[in-house]
Amino acid sequence: MSLIINDDCTSCDACVSVCPNQAIAAGDVIHVIDAARCTECVGAEDSPQCQLVCPADCIVAGAVESHDQLMAKYKGLHA
């Protein structure tokens, strides 16, 4: 599943640099994750790096995608 950032986001930028797919950007008020680019770090890391570094614990599950779907998305982004 791609991840989403909820309203608890403090826009601290900790998540932006650790995303291997450049899926996280500043929004109008909080940061946002581009679902088309989010692979939950499948293909790059063992777990979502943004969740590991987020001090506000505001990055949560979004749309459900299988491991195979996430891997295919990763390969498409890094082909």
> Domains in the chain, start-ordered, CATH in brackets?
3-77 (3.30.70.20)
**Radius of gyration (Cα) for the chain, nearest Å?**
12
Supply the mean pLDDT for the chain.
96
Tokens 């979502």 belong to which residue? 48
Contact 59, 50 (CB under 8 A): yes
Give CA–CA dist 40/32, Å, rounded.
14
Where the chain has pLDDT below 70, the residues are: 1
Percent of the chain's residues with pLDDT above 70: 99
- Rounded to two decimals, the pTM is 0.93
Give, rounded to a whole angstrom, the gap between the first and last alpha carbons of the chain.
Answer: 21
